[in-house]
A = this chain, B = another copy of it.
């Protein structure tokens, strides 16, 4: 593994507090790989052989059932995915594929579990990471169950605006078809939903979103930190 990747991974919250020795042991069997876009990395149901760390690019976590599929999350650098499956030694619940050209580190799951068993600091870091993941999914669940698709989109727009630095105009950072799937609707409906936001002062041209009336949009979206804040 190249030194740069080694340092990048070491600086992750998940690995920052463990001993040098344990970190080295963890990295011994690990390797970094470059993947092109649209490559399947793992399939749900497979045994969790590797903990994945996205160093660059982005990864789509999705799931399939009975011919349908849905995107559940996007993983962006630098973050890990499938940690829960790894520590439980259980099959993946989600599939993963690259959204773009991506550099990904693969750490053998058995090494993660072995170090986890002896390194209390690592175990505590895993807790933080899992608690964060858990709370993220719960928020997403609330978003899905408590809001209509138009409300979900309105709040998504506000969240993206915040990520972009509170500006009034910004770009969507993923395909609309995928955004539709993430938001739990069809691409056709997403198109119509964007039109449905026009009365609340949202304009969309291609991937550019412009918020003309912040107050009106917020009055409609009713954003809630317990659903929409990533930090809470």
A227 to B91, CA, bound (A): 12
A208 an interface residue at 8 Å Cβ cutoff?
no
- A145 with B184: CB separation less than 8 A: yes
With A45-B226, A91-B232, A144-B145 given, is the CB distance from A127 to B134 under 8 Å? no
- B84 with A146: CB separation less than 8 A: no
A63 an interface residue at 8 Å Cβ cutoff?
yes
A145 to B65, CA, bound (A): 10
Partner of A90, one of B85, B135, B184: B135
Interface majority SS on A: helix, strand, loop or mixed? helix
How many chain A residues sit at the interface, stated as a range, is: 35 or more
Minimal Cβ-Cβ distance residue in B for A139: B93
Residues of B within 8 A of A26 (CB): none
A71 to B189, CA, bound (A): 26
A4 an interface residue at 8 Å Cβ cutoff?
no
Partner of A137, one of B94, B116, B134, B151: B134
With A84-B131, A90-B232, A135-B93 given, is the CB distance from A141 to B142 under 8 Å? no
A-B contact pairs, 6 of them (CB 8 A): A66-B146, A87-B131, A88-B135, A119-B120, A137-B137, A145-B184
